[in-house]
Structure 1
Amino acid sequence: MKSANVTIAHDPYRALRFRDFRLLFISTFVATLGEQMLAISIGWELYDRTGSALALGGVGLAQIFPVMLLTLPAGYVADRFNRKRILLFTQLMLAICSLGLMVLSTLHSSFMLSYVCLFVMGCAMAFVSPASSALMAQTVPEQIFENAATWSSSSWQLAEVVGPALAGFLIAIFHGAALIYGLNAICALIFLSLLLFLRVKQQEIEVREQKTWSALGEGVAFLRQAQVLLAAITLDLFAVLLGGAITLLPIFAKDVLHTGPIGLGWLRVAPSLGAISVAAVLAHRPPFKRAGPTLLIAVAGFGLATIVFGLSHSLWLSLLALLLLGGFDTVSVVIRSTLLLTRTPERMRGRISAINSLFISASGQLGGFESGVIAQLFGPIVSVVSGGIGTILVVLLVCLLWPEIRHLRSLESSSPSDR
């Protein structure tokens, strides 16, 4: 007689079997592909026209300033209004701005007008991240969140690999960036069109009267009480802040590894290839049973891979270190993203996603600056190795400050109140 205990086979594609998630997955990939192409193209064109490194710095400033200024209010908006409509409006704004960049590029207009378009795009992107992160939770059941976060991460990483390569290829063929701006507008319109077919129920909206500042503060207060969430965000924040290997890749390629542009290209794409590979493995394995220890090991592994890269003088060893770095980072991203969905009440997901997005964006910008300053003072090797050591020390500190993370098992919400 057969045993009564029947083992249900793990389905690595279970999130993709939900129609609304497929639509969001495809539309996000297309939009991210366009954004990656745009990022390469605008930098290339402005530097080609001005020959100024300051002009390149202005690109990042024009986009990151509105994101840092508006992200927290955007999280509040995502919790109070229809997230699908927010994304529809922002994608329309992104498409209009991309078309504006195309016209400016074709007419060779003042490059200062390009910064205006980039600033408006930054304002729109501030609302995209919290709205899209929270909307994903409305497309699949809670038990599918981990699988959905894995596929979402792999989609972003794939776009980061394909986008820059495609942009460089098109710039070389057409000797300009105008076409790529138009393609980014088309990508935004495709995202918008696919969203129109999304059939998700309206999220829970709190009906009690509450001042805007109090509502914004409620998200911060909740995060302070959610120790596991706070620990996970802290780990990722400092890993991004201290892990400066990616920022200094051009220096390592030229002065340490003595490789050319092709070698630099492989170094740049290696973390994404590692991330995609690990994401595929995660999708085909059962849900995490020891999520907390796995997260700690992943962030510590990220720091160790950073140290190996900093000390390496071999191109192949450096590539291996970057592959591992990207893989460890994906494990961290999947666990953190799943925790943000499962441990945050539906009515607050926009605000918590906004806080997480703001921390990561700020740490990324500050981390690049910090790595550059230390590299200027003490050399690139000291900068990268010290960052890796610092990341490992942060893991040890988090273990002491938040012992809950060491005992975290399942990523599902621990109680109905967490849902």
Structure 2
Amino acid sequence: MTTSGTDTIEHGFTPGSARAALAYPRFRRMWIASFSSNIGTWMQNVVLPLYVYDRTGKASVVGMMVFAQLGPLLFLSIPAGVIADRFDRRRWLIAMQLVQLTFSAALAPLAAADAPIWSIFLVACGVGVGNALNAPAWSAMLPTLVSRADLPGSVSLNSTMINGSRVVGPIVVAVLRSAGVSIAQIFLINAVTYLFVVGALLRTPIKQHRAPAKEPGKSQLTAGLRIARSKPAVWRLLVTLFTFSLLSLPYVGLFAAVARINFGIEKGSTSYEWLYATWGLGAAMGGLAIGTVFVAVDKRRLIRVGFVAFAVFLAAFAMMREPIGAMVFGALLGFAYFGTTTSMNTIFQSRVADHERGRVMSLWFMAFGGTVPLGNLVFAPLMDAVGARWVLVGGAVWALFLSWYCDLVKIDALEHQRGRHALEPDHTATFDEHGISAGE
């Protein structure tokens, strides 16, 4: 049976809960450092699209900027996943933190001088390259810091960390901007926060789970696809996430344009940061709920309910005309959004062996992050032409379809009828209602 490579410790908490995951010192150290760094990242993620939109006034240009920053996930995730499974993850992660630090710092003088937009795009792409090469190794490393029994708690906390920083980052930006801190200085602050992760990595031993080097280079690049295709539920999750990110999440990268077009939030107003923060708060609560309130609930069923809730709240968010209503439905939308994707990630990670994780998780990042900028490129010109409302409503309709399509209970039942297991071949246990192996 595949394990996480970390022995279960006696922690006295419900297995698979967030508190259980935090009982592991190595995981706790890395989680705190990453949370601190991600606050800086989301400070930058909030102000960079707003800066570009304020200078150009076009959602299509913002879409191109988001593609420059997130597009590398689409093209580099697969080779990055191979690297994550073949080489020392800790050294690689440290190097990628320093790459992102360098390019984030370079944004500061460019923004201060109102440099040509193309130069901003180029440096944002550099940040994106570092992130794309970092993400599979990071995602493959975190689950190895806890036992498999406590994996759901670590996934939930990772989602909460990402979205908690989405809350704190915009709030910090609003406070700093009110105090006269410039956008260029915010970029510098973000650059410094990468040092938190570098310091934690230097202090944290990470056990290696390297895949056997039996395949030629080209086969290594396609190994993740072969592994995912061999696991029907994993493949269904990837297809679901790919289309969800492409068709239902354009508003994420185009948040500044949606705020201006739909809700009348004017340039220079802190209402934008607060709107983003309320949405992020909902997302943080949604991710945390999966490892706390819903820890004993079948994640496969939560996914379907989550898509329905997302569709309802996205449609309501699209119909709002003023910031207060948008904040209310934005928080609910964020809750449904990350409650759903965290449930998907929990199932996904539970069905992947540690020596496969980097290559398969690279596909997750392609689907989750890499397709969002493609959606932005497609839908941003449409927003410029007809407004944001109906673009968002179309995304809500697609989410409703996914609530039917992503029926993992049915897929698992069919696999068992065919005499196959939901887990990889060396697993002999079946899944219980939590989406975790009943034999664990």
Range class of TM-score, shorter chain: 0.7 to 0.9
Q: Does 1:365 align with 2:378?
A: no
1:293 equivalent in alignment to 2:301: yes
Q: Which amino acid in structure 2 is aligned with residue 150 of structure 1?
A: S
Return the alpha-carbon distance in structure 2 between the equivalents of residues 375 and 60 of structure 1.
Answer: 15
Residues 1:217 and 2:222 aligned together? yes
Q: Deviations over 1:321-344 (max 9, x none)?
A: 322221122222222222232211
Rounded Cα–Cα distance in structure 1 between residues aligned with 2:138 and 2:62: 28
Whichever residue aligns with residue 201 of structure 1, its letter is K
Partner residue of 1:161 out of 154, 167, 175: 167
Q: Does 1:334 align with 2:350?
A: no
The aligned residue for residue 271 of structure 1 is 279
What is the percentage of aligned positions where both structures have the same residue?
A: 20
Distance change in 2, residues 1:188/1:264 (3 Å): closer
Specify whether residues 79 and 394 from structure 1 end up closer, same or farther in structure 2 by C-alpha distance, changes over 3 A only.
same
Q: CA RMSD in A?
A: 3.3
Judge conservation of contact 1:229–1:340 (CA < 8 Å) in 2: yes
How many residues were matched structurally? 407
CA–CA distance in structure 2, aligned partners of residues 9 and 348 of structure 1: 29
Match of 2:147 in 1: 141
Segment of structure 1 superposing worse, 39-48 or 137-146: 39-48
Structure 1 residues 241 and 141: alpha-carbon distance in aligned structure 2, compared to 1, 3 A threshold: same
Asked if residue 412 in structure 1 is aligned to residue 436 in structure 2, the reply is yes
User: 2-side partners of 1:160 and 1:212: how far apart?
Assistant: 38
Which segments of 5 or more consecutive residues in structure 2 lack a partner in the other structure? 1-11, 417-430
Counterpart in the other structure of 1:130: 136
1:365-406 superposed Cα distances (whole Å, 9 cap, x missing partner): 233344435545655333222221221123223449963389
- Give the partner amino acid of 2:369: S
Partner secondary structure for residue 137 of structure 1: helix
- Equivalent residue number for residue 30 of structure 1: 36
1:238 paired residue among 233, 236, 243 = 243
Q: Is the 8 A contact 1:303 1:387 kept in 2?
A: yes
Task: State the SS of the aligned residue for 1:129.
Answer: helix
In structure 1, C-alpha distance between the alignment counterparts of 2:311 and 2:376, rounded to whole Å: 16
- Is residue 84 from structure 1 mapped to residue 90 from structure 2 by the alignment? yes
Question: Does the 8 Å contact 1:102/1:181 carry over to 2?
Answer: yes
Pairing of 1:11-410 with structure 2 (within 5 A)? 12-43=18-49, 51=56, 53=58, 56=62, 59-104=65-110, 113-174=119-180, 176-208=182-214, 210-243=215-248, 244-246=250-252, 253=259, 256-257=262-263, 261=269, 263-285=271-293, 287-313=295-321, 317-375=325-383, 379-399=387-407, 403-404=411-412, 409-410=433-434
Compared CA separation, residues 45 and 20, structure 1 to 2 (3 A): same
Per-residue deviation, 1:103: 5.0
Aligned-residue offset at 1:102:
3.8
Counterpart CA distance in 2 for 1:28 and 1:9 is 23
Measured in 2, the distance between the counterparts of 1:308 and 1:176 equals 34
Aligned AA for 1:391? Answer: A
Which amino acid letter does the alignment assign opposite residue 309 of structure 1? F
Matched to 1:235, the amino acid is T
Give TM-score, length-normalised by structure 1. Answer: 0.84
Q: Distance in 1 between matches of 2:35 and 2:323?
A: 31
How far off is 1:355 after superposition? Answer: 0.7
Judge conservation of contact 2:241–2:367 (CA < 8 Å) in 1: no
Deviates more, 1:111-120 or 1:74-83: 111-120
Distance apart, 1:304 and its partner CA? 1.9
Paired AA for residue 194 in structure 2: A
> C-alpha displacement at 1:285, in angstroms?
3.4
- Amino acid across the alignment from 1:389: V
Letter in 2 for 1:241: L
SS in 1 for 2:204: coil
Per-residue deviation, 1:13: 1.1
Q: Distance in 2 between matches of 1:173 and 1:322?
A: 26
Larger CA deviation: 18-27 vs 171-180? 171-180
Who is 2:7 aligned against?
none
1:51-96 Cα deviation digits (max 9, x unpaired): 5757655533432343322111101110101111110111122222
Aligned partner of residue 14 in structure 1, secondary structure = helix
Cα offset for 1:33? Answer: 1.6
Question: SS state of the match for residue 347, structure 1?
Answer: coil
Which amino acid in structure 2 is aligned with residue 384 of structure 1?
A: L
Residue aligned with 1:206, SS: coil
The 3 A distance-change label for structure 1 pair 80 and 284 is same
Distance 1:389 1:47 in 2: 28
Alignment correspondent of 1:5: none
CA contact (8 A) 2:42 2:165 kept: yes
State the SS of the aligned residue for 2:145: coil
Query: What TM-score results when the alignment is normalised by the length of structure 2?
Result: 0.81
Structure 1 residues 89-141: Cα deviation after superposition (integer angstroms, max 9, x where no partner): 11122222333334555677766554443333222111111011000111000
AA paired with 1:206?
P
Write the distance in 2 (CA, Å) between the matches of 1:238 and 1:115.
Answer: 26
